[in-house]
Structure 1
Amino acid sequence: MLDQRAITPVFQPLVDLTFGRVIGYEALSRGPAGTPWREPMALFAAARKVGRDAELDWICRANAYREAMRAGFGRELNLFVNMEPTAWRAECPADLTPIVDQARNRLRVVTEMTERAIADDPASLLAATANCRENGWGVALDDVGADPMSLALMPFVHPDVVKLDMQLLQAPGDQNTARVVAAVAAYAEASGALVLAEGVETAEQMAVARSMGATIGQGWHLGRPGPLPEELPEASALPLVRRSPGDARTPFDIVAAERPVTRTSKSQLMPMSRHLEALAGTGPEPPVLLACFQNARHFTPATARRFTRIAAHSPFVAAVGTGLGDEPAPGVRGAHLPAADNLRDEWNVIVVGPHRAAALVARDLGDTGPEADRLFDFALTHDRRLVVAAARAMLHRLAPVS
């Protein structure tokens, strides 16, 4: 089936909830009828077992692009396509490359990703989103609200479109729904992102979706998946979120460029560091915690126990440093810093959540006195823009889960 590229795309309309007009379509993939792989979950599960899920991902996207171009899509009509960011590490099959290249020049694609991608392979996620934007395409974060992780990781994806999970429309009075909607509204207001509600199956749910801040809807009430119509609707490309260019600096460089730098000892920094760590393990929506320890010897058994407790509740916890392994403590992602990495000179604690953001960044001055008296230059910020930029600089160091 994979060798024959026997995957069929179907298209579900995306509808402007204010004017009722179709503004684009989401491409969904189907395996051959009459086989156990008709539905996409079974299809990808089977491909994963034989190690060809990345290839399947390319096939699904290429077939969707081909069908959209055949139907007459241009850059004014929005095409939403799902992507597994881990497929970014896999080269596009040679027979599909011409289709993908044509699509880059002719289509306006919004690539949908899920929050689990950043937990599995954050570097690939960042690379994949950057590539989409280099093509003038957009990025959507899918299934927001299905897992608390999606809210904490939303700033790293920095989506142009936030897709509310269909479960939210089925429980509009639930406290968790209220938290998700509030967090998404805050992100959309600050970034200019659009909100799309999935699973709109009744007129009542369409009204609920609008009350949640959604301006676009998707679901059986608005149109079922099927072939593209012979006559495509008139539409305009969705606006994309303004974003800063990539930044190759370290967290200290990023924050210190805009915030006051103070010199102090390690003993004076410890309480601040512990305070930020504590923030990551509290509240109904625990944030992401990223930390740089310079060297594995600073990741002590007591620190490992602390981070293990935080990881039990936080959606993503990572610790990097020379000599640290891929999992320095249960549930904690890790990464070894090589000798050439200038992050080795930094002690950083970064916390990012839906409603809180903070970063303590410090640079070792290299003195050789007693451990508690070692001097650092440090800066502290709660500016979300700076905190997210600093966090992204650390996420690039994390390798994919094997």
Structure 2
Amino acid sequence: MHAGHAPAQASSPARTDIEAVLAERLVQPLFQPIVDLSTRTVVGVEALARGPAGTDLEFPDRLFAAARDAGRLGELDMLCSERALECAVAAPVAPPLVFVNAEPAALDQPLSPRLVELILGGLPFREILEFTERALPALPGSLLRIAGQAQQWGNSLALDDVGVDPMSLAFLPVLEPEVIKLDMSLIRDPSAERTRAVCAVVRAEAQRTGAMVVGEGIETEEDLVTAEALGARWGQGWLFGRPGRIEQVSHRFDPVAASALPPPRPGFHQGGGTPFEVAAGGGPVTAGTREAIAAALTRLRDAVAADETAVVVASCPDPGIAETDGVTAALQELAGRVRSVILLDKPIPGEFAAAVIGPGYGCAVCVRSGRPLDLVTLHDLPAVAAVTRVLLNRHGS
């Protein structure tokens, strides 16, 4: 651990307000094992933040609520990440993987100097940056920026609580995490139609990308069997160990666990080119007649009408394209039919793009100025996800 960043002792401090926690670095992470369900070996640990023991800020709900009320949530989130990595680095035996949670409300801030120092100093494990599904629609551009940074530094991504909100399934191919965590509610109700639908999408995504599926909340042997039946290969829960100091699980580490995950993909989340250029790499370019564009946008509208969990990501049409009969009106109708719309308010010069993405499917329409207009329509999910990433990277920029 860096000598200049040693934390204060976790004994009851004179003050227990959030300012004291931040100033004296009074966050003490606990670690819960994540295991291979077939061998019970520990493949990694998830860091769980705790405040000063014996105080009213010991547990994370009150700790983060206090930081939010004080307007210092971002600082606390960074401190929790710093302390998780510091403790894992200082462990007698390095874990193969360390899962660190990212607070959605803090995604739009730069990393702290201490966190950058730790990561660039060379971690003796692979860090897995864990997003909850709440982060996906909240700040998608910032999420992709941080995801790209993690990949650039050789780390990986996990999507947590999958199954709570159907929207998380729509964003799975956009984020394309190396780890997908099934929410414990699915383990508790494996026969439900919702569980079967979620797990079918997750299984298909894992087969396509090589992502590892983790079952959460495994408390009994019956839960373990259920998790495996739902497609999980790894799991976590009280059956394997409650949160504790990292030394409590080090004797069971699987040293080659990190090799089970896909390798990092620097640049994947940023992509390159405009939405139309990316779309043209995934589908044929055709003449964008008024009739062809209208038909393509109608297909997007029909996809949205059939699925209330779909997400629309679109750019405002370039003025030259907006003059084409029906484009602006069709976009407004499309946006009015779904719960979640992410709209780039600044037109991309010479282009218009709209993508509909839902659980296990996607479709997109991209138009480029010309005489006549050029049109690409996409129905291949990876290609649609690539266009969506390009749009989201421009969102808020």
| TM-score > 0.5, shorter chain as reference | yes
Tell me what 1:325 maps to.
none
- Once residues 282 and 328 of structure 2 are traced to their aligned partners in structure 1, the CA distance between those partners, rounded to angstroms, is 32
Of residues 142-151 and 77-86 in structure 1, the stretch that sits farther from structure 2 once superposed is 77-86
Matches within 5 A, 1:298-377: 303-304=331-332, 306-311=334-339, 316-320=340-344, 335-337=345-347, 343-365=348-370, 375-377=372-374
Contact residue 128 and residue 158 of structure 2 kept, 8 A = yes
Identity in percent: 36
Give the secondary-structure state (helix, strand or coil) at the position aligned to 1:222: coil
1:108 to 123, 126, 134: 126
Matches within 5 A, 1:181-260: 181-229=199-247, 231-235=250-254, 236-238=256-258, 239-241=260-262, 243=265, 245=268, 246-260=270-284
Give the secondary-structure state (helix, strand or coil) at the position aligned to 1:310: coil
Contact residue 367 and residue 375 of structure 2 kept, 8 A = yes
| Residue 295 to residue 46, structure 1, CA distance change in 2 (3 Å) | farther
Q: CA deviation at 1:154?
A: 1.0
Give the secondary-structure state (helix, strand or coil) at the position aligned to 1:27: strand
Q: Deviations over 1:260-288 (max 9, x none)?
A: 211132243112212212312323x6322
Of residues 81-90 and 245-254 in structure 1, the stretch that sits farther from structure 2 once superposed is 81-90
Give the secondary-structure state (helix, strand or coil) at the position aligned to 2:317: strand
| Residue 88 to residue 290, structure 1, CA distance change in 2 (3 Å) | closer
Matches within 5 A, 1:155-170: 155-170=173-188
1:286 to 300, 303, 309: 309
Contact residue 296 and residue 377 of structure 2 kept, 8 A = no
- Once residues 186 and 24 of structure 1 are traced to their aligned partners in structure 2, the CA distance between those partners, rounded to angstroms, is 24
Q: CA deviation at 1:347?
A: 2.2
Of residues 231-240 and 108-117 in structure 1, the stretch that sits farther from structure 2 once superposed is 231-240
- Once residues 21 and 51 of structure 1 are traced to their aligned partners in structure 2, the CA distance between those partners, rounded to angstroms, is 41
Match status 1:119 vs 2:137: yes
Contact residue 360 and residue 378 of structure 1 kept, 8 A = yes
- Once residues 92 and 310 of structure 1 are traced to their aligned partners in structure 2, the CA distance between those partners, rounded to angstroms, is 34
- Once residues 171 and 263 of structure 1 are traced to their aligned partners in structure 2, the CA distance between those partners, rounded to angstroms, is 50
Q: CA RMSD in A?
A: 2.3
List, as ranges, runs of 4+ consecutive aligned residues in structure 1 with deviation greater than 6 Å.
296-299
| Residue 209 to residue 165, structure 1, CA distance change in 2 (3 Å) | same
| Residue 357 to residue 92, structure 1, CA distance change in 2 (3 Å) | closer
TM-score, normalising length: structure 1: 0.84
| Residue 261 to residue 303, structure 1, CA distance change in 2 (3 Å) | closer
Unaligned runs of 5+ in 2: 1-20
Contact residue 310 and residue 338 of structure 2 kept, 8 A = no
| Residue 15 to residue 117, structure 1, CA distance change in 2 (3 Å) | same
Tell me what 1:38 maps to.
58
Match status 1:266 vs 2:290: yes
Contact residue 347 and residue 362 of structure 1 kept, 8 A = yes
Say how many residue pairs are matched: 366
Q: Deviations over 1:353-377 (max 9, x none)?
A: 2222112211121x6xxxxxxx311
- Once residues 31 and 203 of structure 1 are traced to their aligned partners in structure 2, the CA distance between those partners, rounded to angstroms, is 32
Matches within 5 A, 1:22-33: 22-33=42-53
TM-score, normalising length: structure 2: 0.85
| Residue 32 to residue 40, structure 1, CA distance change in 2 (3 Å) | same
Q: CA deviation at 1:47?
A: 0.8
Q: CA deviation at 1:132?
A: 1.0
Tell me what 1:388 maps to.
385
Tell me what 2:4 maps to.
none
Q: CA deviation at 1:346?
A: 1.4
Aligned letter for 2:179? V
Q: Deviations over 1:169-196 (max 9, x none)?
A: 1111111111111110010011110100
- Once residues 65 and 124 of structure 1 are traced to their aligned partners in structure 2, the CA distance between those partners, rounded to angstroms, is 22
| Residue 19 to residue 277, structure 1, CA distance change in 2 (3 Å) | same
Q: Deviations over 1:231-254 (max 9, x none)?
A: 543412323336574422112111
Aligned letter for 1:81? V
- Once residues 306 and 138 of structure 2 are traced to their aligned partners in structure 1, the CA distance between those partners, rounded to angstroms, is 23
